[in-house]
Amino acid sequence: MGYLICGKCKSYYELQPGESPKDFVNECGCGGKVRYVENLDIVDPSWRPVYIKKKPTKKEVLKDKTRSLSSIPGDIKNRLNQFFQKHFGSLLYNIRNRDRVHRTPHGTPYGTQYGMGPDFVNSVMRELNFRNIRWVLVIPVAAAITVILAFTQGIFYLLTFILLVGVGYLFDDMVIGTKNAVITGAISFFLGSLFTGSFLLLILYTILGVINGAVCGWIGGYIKTRIRGR
């Protein structure tokens, strides 16, 4: 089985059945480098046994990524909350009151200043299906996000949001772009959880993908609308 040794603090760890040197980090707790040897003949008997930390599994990495989404600093959370209240508040109002059209003193329906009047709500309702899905775009982007979720970590995780925003941006219709981003997010997060072995969290990760796709896709469409409106 062999041993992992650290020459800096003169310690070693005996590998257990089923364990491999690749399962462990390359750095000891003291900061020294860990290396593998087949036996302790070259090691001084005074060396002490220690526990070497294992590398996180793909499942643990994905859990950490998901947990990091809920650890956004308070000021950013407040800004996001204000953003969605400003741009989605009128949409929610219109959904609840779509059978009644309330007008401002100037005669325009509430919410239309953000493009979210009754027509927008109706367009959302019409797109609750699998039509207008641009699979030639969705499949490659979903594959790229799946690879990012399954095999990378850290700042690369931000690429998932950028790609989903890009999907929404590439469509002239904001609703259709958001729908394509939702499908992309759902597929990629579902496959990402499969590749990392998180079978018990498939539904949770898929829902998270849908939410990310909806938010990022809408942001992409909103950005394009603002750019075209200039």
The mean pLDDT of 71-93, rounded to a whole number, is 56
Residue 14's DSSP bridge partners are 3
What is the per-residue pLDDT for 32? 87
Output the pTM of the full model.
Answer: 0.50
Residue 99 has pLDDT above 60, yes or no: no
Instruction: Choose between 204 and 201: higher pLDDT.
Output: 204
Q: Does residue 70 have a pLDDT over 60?
A: no
- pLDDT at residue 5, as a whole number: 85
Domain boundaries, the chain: 1-55, 59-228
